Structure 1
Amino acid sequence: MSGGARIAVIGVGNDYRRDDGVGWAVIARLRERPLAPDTVLATCDGDPGRLIGLWEGARLAVVVDAAHAHPGTPGRVHRLALDAGQLPRPSATSSHGLGLGEAVELARVLGLLPERLVVYAVEGADSEFGTGLTPAVAAAVPELVGAVAHEIATGERS
Structure 2
Amino acid sequence: MAVSTRIAVIAVGDRLRHDDGIGWEALCRLRERAAARPLPPGTVLAECDQDPGWVIRLWDDTELAIVLEPAHGRPGHPGRVYRLELDSAALRRPDCLGPHGLGEAVEPARELDRLPRRLVSYAVEAADTTLGRGLSAPVAGAVDVLAERVEEEIVRHRGAAARDTGGDGRT
- 1:18 corresponds to 2:18: yes
RMSD value over aligned CA atoms?
A: 1.6
Paired residues of 2:17 and 2:130 also in contact (CA < 8 A)? yes
Deviations 1:76-108 (A, max 9, x none): 111001142158667xx52xxxx2112112111
Shift of 1:72: 1.1
- Find the residue that maps to 2:141 and give its secondary structure: helix
Residue 136 of structure 1 corresponds to 138
Counterparts in 2 of 1:18 and 1:102: CA distance versus 1, 3 Å: same
Q: Which runs of 5+ in 2 are unaligned?
A: 162-171
- 1:73 corresponds to 2:77: yes
- 1:148 corresponds to 2:150: yes
Paired residues of 2:85 and 2:121 also in contact (CA < 8 A)? yes
Residue 165 of structure 2 corresponds to none
- Find the residue that maps to 1:9 and give its secondary structure: strand
Which letter does structure 2 place at the counterpart of 1:105?
E
Deviations 1:15-69 (A, max 9, x none): 1100000000011111112211110000010110000000000000000000101
In the aligned structure 1, how far is the partner of 2:5 from the partner of 2:46?
A: 12
In the aligned structure 1, how far is the partner of 2:65 from the partner of 2:26?
A: 15
TM-score (normalised: structure 2) = 0.82
In the aligned structure 2, how far is the partner of 1:38 from the partner of 1:89?
A: 27
In the aligned structure 2, how far is the partner of 1:114 from the partner of 1:11?
A: 16
Deviations 1:127-147 (A, max 9, x none): 001100000000011010000
Q: Which runs of 5+ in 1 are unaligned?
A: none
Q: Choose 64-73 or 81-90, whichever is displaced more.
A: 81-90
Selected match of 1:126 from 125, 128, 136: 128
Residue 109 of structure 2 corresponds to 107
Residue 27 of structure 2 corresponds to 27
- 1:6 corresponds to 2:6: yes
Pair member with larger Rg: 2
